[in-house]
Amino acid sequence: MPRKIIPYNPKLKQLSRDLRNNSTPGEIKLWQELKAKQFYGYDFHRQKPLLNYIVDFYCAELNLVIEIDGRYHEEITDKDLNRTQELTNYKLNVLRFTEYEVKTDMFNILRTLEAYIAAFNEVDK
């Protein structure tokens, strides 16, 4: 199946590089689990420009965006809802976790991702 191209704002490329070099502890911890296709063989990218946003993690094969909400994301805002809606318009699924969850409960974060992959593969059959 050909990879679908999702447009992005080229002005975000440098900012995405900067964000990769200044990751939060939660992003670093989750990246240790996802990098180098070690999570079920799927290729994840971090701080990936999509549309007019930079998403924390993206896997094209799974149509999946993972967002880690930090301290400034105590609650889901209208801005977050709009961002999620725009991404879902491109058939992407968005999973959100808090920085605290990633730092304190990686086991359940990975279980959630495993369940997503299982459901995705079931639909894909």
Tell me whether residue 87 is in a domain: no
Per residue in 93-109, pLDDT (tens digit) is 999 999 999 999 999 99
Tell me whether residue 46 is in a domain: yes
Separation between Cα atoms, residue 7 and residue 119, nearest integer Å: 26
Here the CATH number for the domain that contains residue 52 is 3.40.960
Identify the weakest region by mean pLDDT among 67-71, 87-91, 92-96: 67-71
Tell me whether residue 3 is in a domain: no
- Which of these, 66, 75, 78, lies nearest to 102 by C-alpha position? 66
Burial (0-12, 13-18, 19+ Cβ within 10 Å), 97:
buried
Domain that holds residue 36: 10-80+96-124
